Amino acid sequence: MSSRESFNIGWVCALQEEYEAACAMLDEEIEGPKYQEPGDNNTYCFGRIGGHRIVIGSLPSGRYGVTAAARVATDMTRTFYKLRLVLMVGIAGGAPTSEQDIRLGDVVVSVPYKNIGGVVQFDMGKQIDGRFQRTGHLNSPPAQILNILPEIKRRHQFPDQYGGVDEHLKRFNNDPRFHRPDVDRLFRSDSKHTGGKSCAGCDLSELVARPPRTSSRAIDVFYGTIASSNTLMKDARARDSYAHDPELKVLCFEMEAAGLMNDSPCLVIRGICDYCDLHKNDEWHYYAAATAAAYARELLSVIEL
């Protein structure tokens, strides 16, 4: 049985598919401690990746948002008080632009941009002259993590040599739920949604023309601002305004990370499952959860804490 003091990495998920993807990335599951601090009602999966001892926790079923995520992370760090890093890993809605060709299944990682620490809470601010103005501050990921990212980026360019995310995704080869879907459609921001979950009745002439990718990599990884809120983003025009704001350059939207950034050394890793518009559905949830988890495993295989 492992002691509470032996765990150095916390891994927080919000959804069942994220939790399953996280557990699939472990080298092995191990027996964790029986004792949890009073009030810590989380259920954990314990395991190892290389020399790291990992504790994985998920939000309760049916609970979402910044507050719920903060509670899980706070209780986790009370019980496992030697954690050096907490990863928030899961899915998000992408905010593609002509500069950032984000596609479904790609990964976004929170890193500082201008005065943003990597995560901005977009319901913790106000609109002035059509521009978002923050009214609070969220911390950046720890310097030790930011220092290792250039090496992660370099390795990602050579999947045949280093394997990395592409290799880790092979863990899901025998689980069709996590396989990559075939259809990735980005509709114009002013497009009407009329076709149900499958978009069968939507006007395909309103699709944004995007050239096929020529890279042999399974996904691309983007680094920058992640927008977090208790409100689900389903407005393509609002998405675009945050993505094009020169002070923000938001890459994706999610609903949990803002609850973690100021309480623990934290990095946010998000797989893109939709484009934050009315055409969103759940088809890419499992694959996006897998790509985010695979990136997290790659990070942990490189860094020493």
Domains in the chain, CATH or no CATH each? 4-302 (3.40.50.1580)
At 285, the pLDDT band (50, 70, 90 cuts) reads very high
Say if residue 129's pLDDT is above 60.
no
Residue 130 has pLDDT above 90, yes or no: no
258 within 8 A of 119, measured Cβ to Cβ: yes
Q: What is the rounded CA–CA span in Å between residue 80 and residue 76?
A: 6
Residue 186 clears pLDDT 60, i.e. is over it: yes
Instruction: Identify residue 252 by its one-letter amino acid code.
Output: C
Checking if the pLDDT of 128 tops 90, the result is no
Question: Who wins on pLDDT, 183 or 162?
Answer: 183
Quick one: pLDDT at residue 131?
Answer: 59
Q: By C-alpha distance, which of 164, 13, 36, 140 is closest to 87?
A: 13
Average pLDDT, the chain: 92
List the structure tokens of 287. Answer: 């694959």
Residue 195 has pLDDT above 70, yes or no: no
Q: Which residues pair with 119 in a beta bridge?
A: 226
The band of 266, judged by pLDDT with boundaries at 50, 70 and 90, is very high
pLDDT at 202: 78
| Residue 301 pLDDT level (bands cut at 50, 70, 90) | very high
What's at 297, amino acid-wise? Answer: R
Tell me if 76 sits within 8 A of 10, measured CB to CB: yes
SS3 93: strand
Radius of gyration of the chain (CA): 19
Looking at residue 272, what is its pLDDT?
99
Give the lowest-confidence range in 121-135, 153-167, 289-303: 121-135
Residue 157 has pLDDT above 70, yes or no: yes
More confidently predicted of 198 and 303? 303
